[in-house]
Structure 1
Amino acid sequence: MSERPAQLIPEEAPHVLLLRSPDAEGEDRYVQALAERGFRAVCRPVLRFAFAGAPGFTGGDVTARLRRPDRYEGLILTSPRASQALADVLLDASSGLQETWQGKPAFTVGPKTANLLRESGLKPTGEDSGDADALAAHIVQEMPNEAGAARPLLFLCGNRRREALPERLRAEGVAFEECVAYETHLREGPWLKASNGETPDWAVFFSPSGVEAVRQSDEPGWGAVRKAALGPTTAGALEAAGGPPDAVAARPTPEALAEALAMAGQSA
């Protein structure tokens, strides 16, 4: 089980379980932001991801789609994993595709996904939308919806993507094509235990799939731990799983999460 401890802070500080994979390089951004607000945090991934070429992958052929930039008006990506799948193709020097996509809009949500797109040489738009509903409104505003007025957008998504964005785009007449660029699989728990074997003070959920992964383990600690969500979509999944979260980050950033937990702690 992968964990990355917080910097040295008092043992009695509130213990936060971040249900996500730690950052690949350096100190985890969420661990650091929470430590600065007096929390002891560790990362514990509840999901695993598979990309094209992995054994058993049943998603779409991302490379084949990206080799036809003339067919698409632009891109939609709503997760870092989709950006990773895109980068695996565009940053391959042998593909010669990076320049062909640079002039097209890349609609996205969240700073991490947007930064990954910039590293791939693209210009993201919509990163401050906050969630899929707001991103859909941004796309509708930016894209023509008259029949035949535009080529479709290429929506690189996961196998467990939510319906909110596609439904809104269909309702508004915005053409798009989906391609499953990665698969999300639930790991097996138990999850809601701190490194010392006790129930943590907080469990932070980063996606509805993360909520599902913990709930399927049917852990007795579910009712004892305070729960936080990184955004409204995950907050809705927590509410559907048994009650509203105790804190919701105003934006999908480490600083906003730390602020939400600190504010919730003051009102407890």
Structure 2
Amino acid sequence: MHVLLLKEPRDGESGPDPYIQELASHGHKATLIPVLSFKFISLNTLSDRLFQPEKHGGLIFTSPRAVEAVKMCLEAEERREEWNRSVKDTWNTKSIYVVGKATAALVQNLGLNPLGEDTGTADVLSRLIIEREDTNIPPLFFPCGSIKREVLPTALREHGVPLETLTVYQTAEHPDLEKNLKNFFTEQGAPDSIAFFSPSGVKFCLEVVRRLSGEQLPQIKFAAIGPTTQDAMTAEGLCVSCTAEKPTAEHLAAAIAKALQ
């Protein structure tokens, strides 16, 4: 069976994408088409905040892209040495919160010790933070994207946990998205399953997917990486065949394999 993955290639690692590998282990062929493009902003401000850990109660990362912005700051100003010598250790005396294994791995590469990699969603992470943090701490620092959901900031605000957010990247549609989708459908025909990985992916792809699938649309098994993406798909009137129990390659591949049986 042929599966179309509407997601970005994994960051900075060579070798096959884990989602393609996992689906292959179930006997399915997967193709990956990138949906989003990213532009980094406010890196000078981010750099200032990173080198003032004493002003913050901890860090929050909910996307690999935000960690990438941090890495860019350390490399751009050649401050990696100062970071390694003292700054990262100061941050490690505080809580470094993350959502998901991919983000956790990148945070570890910065020399930081992440908490919450099994939370899977911002909603679950916010509950962990509220359980662990007092209201009298300095603000937690949250570098994020331009289309972040308000779940986490709202939950922390309602429980009096101080938070400082900074938008460090803007998300837009990948410039070649429509062309790549057309090429795929022309060469391969409609896939047996299509997996969405974000609400913005649904927003940018769905109309083109519907148009290219035509009468075959009802036969396609649509998969979601998690509940937020599932909600976005359902809101657009899509019938969601399966949702990964956790946002990992293993869980998504297992869910798709079951749906395609």
The two structures have a TM-score, normalised by structure 2, of 0.87
Change in 2 beyond 3 A, CA 1:25/1:247: same
Distance 2:98 2:245 in 1: 17
Deviations 1:95-153 (A, max 9, x none): 534333232211111100011111111111111112111111001001112xxx11010
Aligned twin of 1:85: 69
Structure with greater helix percent: 2
Q: Which amino acid aligns with 2:170?
A: E
Deviations 1:79-107 (A, max 9, x none): 11111112223464255343332322111
Aligned twin of 1:117: 107
Identity rate, percent: 39
Distance 1:122 1:170 in 2: 25
CA contact (8 A) 1:203 1:227 kept: yes
Give secondary structure in 2 for the equivalent of 1:258. Answer: helix
Change in 2 beyond 3 A, CA 1:252/1:196: same
Spell out the pairing of 1:1-268 with structure 2 (5 A cutoff): 14-23=1-10, 24-52=13-41, 61-90=45-74, 92-93=79-80, 95-96=82-83, 97-145=87-135, 149-187=136-174, 188-189=177-178, 191=181, 193-194=184-185, 196-217=187-208, 219-220=210-211, 221=213, 223-224=217-218, 225-266=220-261
Distance 1:80 1:99 in 2: 21
Consecutive unaligned residues of structure 1, counting only runs of 5 or more, are: 1-13, 53-57
Deviation at 1:194, TM superposition (A): 4.2
Change in 2 beyond 3 A, CA 1:34/1:121: same
Q: Which amino acid aligns with 2:194?
A: A
Mean CA deviation greater in 217-226 or 29-38: 217-226
Deviation at 1:77, TM superposition (A): 0.8
Distance 2:98 2:118 in 1: 9
Q: Which amino acid aligns with 2:252?
A: L
Distance 2:6 2:196 in 1: 6
Give secondary structure in 2 for the equivalent of 1:61. Answer: helix
The two structures have a TM-score, normalised by structure 1, of 0.85
Instruction: Write out the 4+ residue segments of structure 1 that deviate beyond 4 Å after TM superposition.
Output: none
Q: Which amino acid aligns with 2:257?
A: A
Deviation at 1:239, TM superposition (A): 1.0
CA contact (8 A) 2:43 2:73 kept: no
Deviations 1:144-198 (A, max 9, x none): 12xxx11010011100001111111111111101011211111241537447241
CA contact (8 A) 2:221 2:260 kept: no
Q: How many residues align structurally?
A: 245
Mean CA deviation greater in 165-174 or 214-223: 214-223
Distance 1:240 1:36 in 2: 32
Deviation at 1:217, TM superposition (A): 3.7
